[in-house]
Chain A
């Protein structure tokens, strides 16, 4: 055997590696697995990943095959042989993609985000204690406790995030469970059923219609077998199989059946030639794992945000460490300040909140049929700017449906909606009566039994797509088709074949007075017309003259131009004298006339778009999302569907359309005039990446037709080069690299293969494009709401940070303790920030452009400045007023606070004088300090309520949005108050928490500031609404 490599298709991945598989041709086939090597290509601009399969079993004769695999097609393998092979080659199953070990996932949560910063805080605490201990062995354990609390916070939030992630993957796990597959195999000359996993190379298997092919098989004998290779090649048409070698390429040849494809009809016997990961599908599935997972936009945003906050925390911390040291503070004290600043700056609860928010949205989306595998993908969908959608099943209903009828020289439109409810065409004509009879009788499709209660459109039918369509169509209009067929007994039949291109059957009629036989025929319209000499118009036979033929052609062209599959129908009543009741029809000799028939009408079928899709596409359009159709179908069909769903809008034209309209050659058309483009896979193949980029930028409406699933990857990469966030739908195994490469891969829940579902970030449970759009809406909403949540959370950081800074510089008693800060971050603020996730959109979020990946950040300058320097400062001021009020009423007026710190904190000073000359012991002061903490805490809490309310909207007034529409907000506010009350009055006596009882009046000190915050924000929003685009809008809108 000469060295021969067969190219089946090429897959472009990152463009750096080639995967090649070669046959070294030693007679015994040997797999080398997938090899990576560089191979520069001359005819292509860049190196591409190339996959070549050395399968040549399709070329071998049965004898050679038997020899090669040591088997016998009659007796099969012996069970010992089989066991041996099974042990050697492993089970016939795809190895699942490598999972990250749980412990790694857990550890990742422990060090991700702010955790590092908090770990540093905790370690600094312990170092501080170490220093203290070395100086004085009886030093207090406060710092150890604080360190432990910080560590605990990290671990708890880590566990929480891990749990959330595990929960969402669990949904997937249940989803992924496959039903064990069985295979009928000949072993030891006996037919046995074994689990498909136990198949080995050389096994002889039998496949029947409806089975999933259990491994790659070389077909040995075939009876009318058709397979659905769509999961492999993307072709939606059933592919006939035979035992002959028809093509060099193993993918094209008809004598090979592929693992995981489905046998639609017929039976076949085959020899297993590849199992498990060595099957074609297995190789592709392993390719998908080679495509790196792109980081989700929200992950980038959160990282960006973490960097900002961590940057602020570290730089302020270090700055004040230096200031503290230069103010002659001890290094130990400075370290403790540093810890305080870090803790104040880090929103400990935020990442957990974000996770909860995302999973809430994920749940909401699951209800709307978008199952999100990866939580972060929730938002990715919202920032999507290009959707590359499949046609079949996603945009369309994935079933042939009668769309148009032509009879009586008129085209009628049939209802193609999901339930066919209102068929409005004229049913009174005599032609229709004849036509309906032909449709009913000249049809071999049948409903599977036992489906009487199922709506007609949902019943399972045995038969091919067109016949199914006709059957359902007639069942809807005429009622019980099977009964009609029974009444018109079939006496002879010629099934459809590709040479005749027609189907014929002869029936007794149900009219007892009419003894004539009825011959009905359907088929390719031009063939049918050839056989006709008359045509039926308004129920009357008329000679078929030139005019009527012309009318027929016009109709035929028109319907064909709509991308529809057209069938012609004719009939003939056989004269009773020539064909008496006893006449025996012989289909082989054709002892009956098949010419000079009477033409009745045309019927055209299409896989119609889902009724919700046009709206969804319009929504996408107004949302600035480009919808690109990528299909394996014929360009004309693709274009027709694209037009009917609005992917190509009604008034835009392709270059070809313009040429046609202006009666000029395609080349003379100014390409700029065309908005739409229909590109075929062949054209795409010859395009350089630059040309593709140009295509993608210049045309707003693009349809890719006749593309292979591999080309999807090229399209996705092209889109990503435009800086777009790309969502890609896919169902086949071959789609999985594209699904992985895309920013968000969407797999089909019904039609999708497991490999596609594995590679995807999201699964569309109803396969409906419209669900993607609702997903986009949710994704955009979550981005807005996350912005609000973050703004809400960041605001109080200033109020927590200022006390430390002022404490260091002015030397007043510490206004708020580190533990207290943690109680705000992880206590009172958690539920309110989650509540913001339930906020409704402010305006129609589907009317604005998708966010720009680099410009519209989650946390932008405006948000940070407004939160930190406006509202945050107001909060700090309000909380300080509460703090000063408590101290002043107890005897320490603000003026005495300056530089009191050293004496205040000296536990040996037990007669510190206040403003009234009273003397305080250390513990009395400490208690007062805790009262200060509590007052400060309550001050922040009260103002956070106002902050929560103002964060409900970013532009609209709260009163426009409705104060009470989001009930969860009020739950959040109630939780804040209850937690604060519990901490103060319930746990006030636990000294370790440093909370105290607070006089009731102190709860209201910060209320004026809360009102001020609200009013200020309303004014801000008012100016934003009044002067859009102004300086104010640019600087104050976040």
Chain B
């Protein structure tokens, strides 16, 4: 049998020398003739079991494909302009099934068990992460003193701020219309509540002027504060003139230096305040009365020991009474701190050692 098969191949064996040239076709035909014969014989035998198997497989494949399609649909729910209506309904069903599949009791392609496992694991993961963070923050607080900030360079040199402050540094008001300046008066009154003489006398001590009020001792001890009485501000205290001069077009503006823990102005002459017109005619302001008359922040109000222990500390103030400002025109005013060790010309920060505001008083 074997030999027969071989000899059947024999004429087809092309690799004799002769095949080198144009016999190729002939050889090819021989080969093909063989194949055709086989094909014919093949056709007579039908193989039933094979077909069944194939069908089964095909069904499986189809299922897989469907699954794939589902996935695709999930992945890109945007849809690409397929025939509307039915297709959209199908899509919606697929999405719906993805969200909650009643048959497999799955939501978002996970069973309840799987979901609970995930939740538990994530709970533990995030809980331990939170624990780590807590630990870190705890160690952080261990290194930080509650009385004294670790670094204070950033907040030095001190900034300057004025009162009344109503979210703007432009004072526009009409003397004859109280509505336009009433809120300044309320703001000032509110601000000065803490400076009431009675309160100051009750809570704070009267310490000697011209020198630091240094309180050594334990950090956590409560510190005493020096009195700064409202009455120091004379005409701008609101005691005699409850409208702080706004009703007469002579507004009072209070100036304070920002608190900085441990900050001490240099010894000698105290820090003074001086105001002038920032741009324009020097004479637009004409006269300013400062209260206290020294227009300075006394050394006894320094140093500041921090919010926690220096509870009743009241920042010293300087009131500027603009008694004769040019009316009906915006007057830019710059008030600067002057003194040893005071910086008032930082380009980027227009509130370090100085403050600029405009007065626009209408009559």
Chain B stretch 110-152: residues in CB contact (< 8 A) with chain A: 114, 117-118, 122, 125-126, 129, 132-133, 136-137, 140-141, 144, 147-152
A-B contact pairs, 11 of them (CB 8 A): A304-B75, A873-B129, A889-B144, A908-B168, A910-B159, A910-B258, A914-B155, A915-B149, A919-B260, A923-B346, A1012-B132
User: Is residue A167 within 8 Å, beta carbon to beta carbon, of the partner chain?
Assistant: no
A177 at the interface (CB under 8 A from B): no
* Count of chain A to chain B residue pairs whose CB atoms are closer than 8 Å in the complex: 218
CB-based contact A884/B137 at 8 Å: yes
Which of the segments B40-48, B88-96, B233-241, B290-298 contacts the partner chain?
B40-48
A566 within 8 A of B: yes
Q: Looking at the complex, which of B6-14, B199-207, B281-289, B317-325 is the stretch in contact with chain A?
A: B6-14
Report if A672 contacts B (CB, 8 A).
yes
A563 interface hit (Cβ, 8 Å): yes
A908 to B140, CA, bound (A): 32
Interface residues of B in 43-79 (CB under 8 A from A): 44-45, 47, 50, 54, 68, 71-72, 75-76
Q: Is A484 an interface residue (CB 8 A)?
A: no
B310 adjacent to A634 (CB under 8 Å):
no
Cross-chain contact of B154 among A464, A672, A890 (Cβ < 8 A): A890
Q: Is B160 in the interface zone, CB < 8 Å from A?
A: yes
Provide the residues of chain A in CB contact with B137, threshold 8 Å: 881, 884, 894
Contact A921 B351 (CB under 8 A): yes
Instruction: Give the nearest-CB partner of B42 in chain A.
Output: A667
Residues of B at under 8 Å CB distance from A?
Answer: 1-2, 5-6, 9-10, 12-24, 27-28, 31-32, 35, 38-39, 41-42, 44-45, 47, 50, 54, 68, 71-72, 75-76, 114, 117-118, 122, 125-126, 129, 132-133, 136-137, 140-141, 144, 147-152, 154-155, 159-161, 165, 167-169, 256, 258-261, 304, 306-308, 310, 313, 346, 348-352, 355
Residues of B within 8 A of A464 (CB): 20
List A521-555 residues whose CB lies under 8 Å from chain B: 522-527
Task: Select one of A874, A885, A906 contacting B140, CB under 8 A.
Answer: A885
Whether a CB of chain B sits under 8 angstroms from the CB of A877 is yes
Interface size class of A (residues with CB under 8 A): 35 or more
The verdict on A587 contacting chain B, using a C-beta distance below 8 Å, is no
B31 A891 Cβ-Cβ under 8 A? no
The reply to whether A240 and B21 contact each other, CB–CB distance below 8 Å, is yes
B5: chain A residues within 8 A (beta carbon): 660
Question: Which of B1, B118, B258 has most A Cβ within 10 Å?
Answer: B258
Tell me whether B149 and A921 are in contact (CB under 8 A).
no
Task: Please tell me if the beta carbons of B16 and A918 are within 8 angstroms of each other in the complex.
Answer: no
Q: Tell me if B259 and A919 are in contact (CB < 8 A).
A: yes
- Chain A 549-580 interface residues, beta-carbon cutoff 8 Å to B: 556-557, 559-561, 563-568
Which of chain B's residues have a CB closer than 8 A to the CB of A421? none
Question: Which chain B residue shows the least CB distance to A1016?
Answer: B125
Are A566 and B15 in touch, CB under 8 angstroms?
yes
Complex Cα distance, B298 from A189, in Å, reads: 119
Do A498 and B22 touch (CB < 8 A)?
yes
Interface pair A922/B351, CB less than 8 Å apart? yes
**Docked CA distance A600–B2 (Å):** 28
Chain A residues within 8 Å of B122, by CB? 869
User: Which residues of chain B are near A890, meaning CB under 8 Å?
Assistant: 149-151, 154-155
Q: Are B151 and A917 in contact (CB under 8 A)?
A: no
- Quick one: which of B2, B125, B261 contacts A918, CB cutoff 8 A? B261
Which of A527, A563, A670, A1009 makes the CB contact (< 8 A) with B18? A527
A260 at interface, CB cutoff 8 A: no
Q: A706-B28, A916-B308 are in contact. List 15 more A-B contacts (CB 8 A).
A: A526-B16, A527-B18, A560-B16, A561-B9, A634-B31, A665-B41, A666-B38, A680-B35, A683-B39, A877-B133, A888-B150, A916-B306, A919-B155, A923-B348, A999-B151
Q: How near does chain A come to B148, taking the closest CB pair, in angstroms?
A: 7
Residues of chain A within 8 A of B72, CB atoms compared: 854
Other-chain contact of A921, B10, B150, B352 (Cβ < 8 Å): B352
A237-B24 in contact (CB<8A): yes
Give the residue name and chain of the A residue nearest to B159 (CB).
A921
CB-CB < 8 A to A564: which residues of B?
15
Q: Which of A668, A911, A931, A1008 neighbours the largest number of chain B CB atoms within 10 Å of its CB?
A: A911
Q: Does A964 belong to the interface (CB within 8 Å)? A: no
Question: Is A295's CB within 8 Å of the partner chain B?
Answer: no
Q: Which residue of B has the minimal Cβ distance to A563?
A: B15
